[in-house]
Amino acid sequence: MESLKSKMLHMAFLFGVIILISSCKEEKRGLVIGKIQQASDLVVTEFVVDKVVFGKKEKNILFVPVNEASFLAYSRAKIKTGINLEKIKEEDILIEGNKITLYLPTIEVINFSYPPEDFIEDSLVSNPKRFLNSINLEDQETFFRLAEMDIRDQLPYMGLVETSQNHTRKLMHTLLKNFDFEEIFIHFKSDSLKVRQIQISDNTINP
């Protein structure tokens, strides 16, 4: 009888320990998720892309091109990438003792700007005014708009994903070290680049 009672007490103790460990583990997971979600503003990576803008305009007289006008300028796009850490789910964080494995969402372009104040015309090369032909402000705005669209099309091929992932990994390692994890593994659910639908910039140039 004493032996049975002793076994029951032993099982109850083990059961209590398991519940306590499980409870501590879930509490730690909750703290980790909370800290990660608070880091959304910190995992932002900023890029600057320089773009040469070139355009030309021909004047035809009796179907013969004459006096070609040209325009050359320098521009700059500013890009911010990040990840939406609020999308982190419970199953994206695996904790085994002092080991943690984290699965993060896809890198996104969260902001894209192409400010006209950074447009600089190369007056030495540009020849926008020719006899019977000239490149006006409307033409210039068209050239800049086409340049912006070209930058947007090239975003997936500029290495933004790899650079942003490396930046995020470093920050997450620093963050998770504070929880005394000795083994930290960070993966991304996709190596593609998600580009939000961002309105084309207003490239109105002041005369």
Average pLDDT, the chain: 79
Within the chain, strands assigned E span: 45-61, 64-82, 93-96, 99-104, 107-113, 120-121, 129-130, 133-134, 183-188, 193-195
Domain-embedded: residue 164: yes
Q: From residue 134, how far is each of 72, 138, 143, 191 by CA, in Å?
A: 14, 11, 14, 46
Q: What is the pLDDT of residue 50?
A: 96
Domain-embedded: residue 10: yes
Q: What is the pLDDT of residue 12?
A: 39
Q: What is the pLDDT of residue 38?
A: 77
- Nearest partner of 173 among 163, 183, 160, judged by Cα: 183
Q: What is the pLDDT of residue 128?
A: 64
| CA dist., res. 172 & res. 82, Å (int) | 13
How many domains is the chain partitioned into structurally? 1
Q: What is the pLDDT of residue 36?
A: 80
Domain-embedded: residue 191: yes
Domain-embedded: residue 204: no
pTM for the full predicted model: 0.74
* Sites in the chain below the pLDDT cut of 50: 2, 4-24
Q: What is the pLDDT of residue 74?
A: 94
Domain-embedded: residue 201: no
Domain-embedded: residue 97: yes
Q: What is the pLDDT of residue 23?
A: 43
Domain that holds residue 150: 2-195
Residue-wise pLDDT tens digits, 129-175: 655 557 788 888 999 999 999 999 999 999 999 999 999 999 889 88
